[in-house]
């Protein structure tokens, strides 16, 4: 097996902390109130390298969607083993290790309140209300009551695709909803503890930053074994072109008509824009494809039903869908993860 992928959250956190210390970095622990399955403490761990009061920063993020965190955490461990030189003067590299530790520990995509943290980071003061256009038409399909089991999922899904078209359906399902607390893609009612701890820490430690580039690692969307760099900007605008100068032509827009992704409210990267209003902040989502969108949705739907109405038995399926036990896939994640950090590192050196 590929060595940087950990078997569970506890091992991933221990390995990260040891690797930060071994690489000469500074470790900060941001504890959260939720507990692991065995009652152990959970935390967002931060590895810091470089200037104590930087003006330029590279931030690498893992585990916003808990169960997806195994990929981003593996990329971070690999980076820590690469023995890179110290960042340039007045620069810092920051590794945010598992923003949603509850989700990774419990093998859920959401946190302890069933909140999708990548729909939770609305600008302050945000309105945690409403749902995407078309959500009502898919609401019962997504959030079926009762224990998970055979319920003609494929036939229902095909009918919805035929009725609305895949891009429109994709947007209605995954854009982020604030009406069903036990449903999929629920964005919460206020900023959750984990993102709030990160935002406050960013304000405290990165207040002097004028330029920041962020890479937020996710899995589950797109073609198996390949990645896409997604931005919430419109092609041709100065903001989009600024990111393209760093990462080249591989950028894609968060738009279901132009990529495998979708427009969403409350994205995690918005925290950095809010915390650093005077800085030039560029955030990209590095999304690694796994399986067909319907297979991923089916696993999410089954796990959610099982969690709320059953015994949680669908967790192992969710893990396999978002982190395939396939060395070829995992090596591709590490290769592209290293390359993307390398492109951001070059930007850090050239400013």
Report the pLDDT value the prediction gives residue 162, as an integer from 0 to 100.
74
pLDDT digits (tens, 9 = 90+) for 98-121: 999 999 999 999 999 999 999 999
Residue ranges in 134-251 assigned as alpha helix (H): 135-142, 153-164, 166-174, 193-205, 238-247
**Token digits of residue 258:** 């132009």
Average pLDDT over residues 55-81: 98
Q: Residue 233 carries which DSSP code?
A: S
Q: Which whole number is the average pLDDT over 143-152?
A: 68
pTM given for the model: 0.94
Given pLDDT bands bounded at 50, 70 and 90, which one contains residue 310?
Answer: confident
What is the structure's pLDDT at 163?
A: 79
What is the per-residue pLDDT for 143? 82
pLDDT tens digits for 231-288?
Answer: 887 777 888 888 888 988 678 776 655 555 567 889 999 999 999 999 999 999 999 9
Question: Closest Cα partner for 293 from 135, 154, 145?
Answer: 154
**CATH second-level architecture of 9-127+192-350?**
3-Layer(aba) Sandwich (3.40)
* Spatial distance between the Cα atoms of 96 and 99, rounded to a whole number of angstroms: 7
Element containing residue 309 per DSSP (H, E): helix 293-309
The residue count of the chain comes to 351
* Boundaries of every domain in the chain: 9-127+192-350
Q: Which residue has the tokens 């004028």?
A: 210
Report pLDDT for 351.
Answer: 66
Quick: pLDDT tens for 36-62.
999 999 999 999 999 999 999 999 999
What is the percentage of the chain residues whose pLDDT exceeds 90?
Answer: 66
Collapsed DSSP state (helix, strand, coil) of residue 93: strand
Under the banding of pLDDT at 50, 70 and 90, the label for residue 347 is: confident
Q: Burial letters for 57-78: b for 16+ Cβ neighbours within 10 Å, e otherwise?
A: bbbbbbbbbbbbbbbbbbbbbb
Q: What is the pLDDT of residue 65?
A: 98
User: pLDDT per residue over 164-201, tens digit each?
Assistant: 776 667 777 888 999 999 999 999 999 999 999 999 99
What pLDDT does residue 234 have?
Answer: 74
Beta 251-253 vs 227-231: how paired, if at all?
Answer: parallel
pLDDT of residue 261: 58
Rounded CA gap, 178 and 189, in Å?
Answer: 7
Confidence of residue 1 (pLDDT cuts 50, 70, 90): low
Q: Which residues contact residue 64 at a Cβ distance below 8 angstroms, ignoring those fewer than 6 apart?
A: 99, 100, 117, 118, 216, 218, 268
């Amino acid at each position: 097996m590929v060595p940087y992928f950990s078997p569970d959250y506890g091992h991933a956190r221990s390995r990260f902390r040891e690797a930060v210390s071994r690489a000469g970095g500074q470790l900060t622990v941001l504890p959260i109130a939720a507990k692991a399955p065995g009652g152990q403490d959970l935390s967002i761990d931060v590895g810091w390298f470089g200037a104590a009061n930087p003006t330029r920063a590279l931030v690498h993020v893992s585990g916003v969607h808990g169960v997806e965190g195994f990929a981003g955490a593996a990329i971070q461990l690999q980076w820590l083993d690469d023995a890179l030189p110290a960042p340039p003067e007045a620069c810092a590299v920051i590794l945010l290790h598992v923003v949603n530790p509850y989700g990774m520990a419990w093998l859920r995509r959401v946190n302890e309140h069933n909140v999708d943290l990548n729909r939770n980071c609305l600008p302050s003061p945000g309105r945690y209300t409403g749902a995407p256009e078309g959500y009502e038409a898919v609401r019962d399909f997504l959030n079926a009551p009762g224990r998970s089991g055979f319920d003609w999922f494929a036939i229902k899904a095909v009918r919805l695709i035929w009725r609305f078209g895949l891009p429109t359906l994709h947007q209605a399902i995954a854009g982020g909803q604030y009406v069903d607390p036990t449903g999929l893609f629920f964005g919460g009612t206020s900023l959750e503890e984990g993102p709030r701890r990160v935002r406050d820490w960013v304000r405290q430690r990165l207040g002097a930053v004028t330029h920041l580039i962020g890479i937020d690692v996710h899995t589950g969307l797109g073609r198996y074994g390949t990645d896409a760099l997604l931005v919430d900007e419109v092609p041709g605008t100065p903001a989009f072109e600024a990111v393209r100068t760093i990462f080249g032509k591989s950028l894609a827009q968060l738009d279901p008509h132009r990529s495998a992704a979708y427009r969403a409210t409350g994205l995690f990267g918005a925290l950095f824009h809010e915390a650093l209003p005077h800085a030039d902040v560029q955030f990209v989502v590095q999304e690694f494809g796994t399986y067909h969108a319907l297979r991923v949705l089916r696993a999410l739907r089954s796990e959610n039903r099982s969690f709320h109405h059953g015994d949680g038995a669908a967790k192992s399926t969710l893990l396999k869908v978002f982190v395939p036990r396939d060395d070829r896939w995992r090596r591709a994640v590490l290769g592209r993860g290293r390359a993307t950090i390398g492109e951001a590192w070059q930007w850090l050196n050239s400013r």
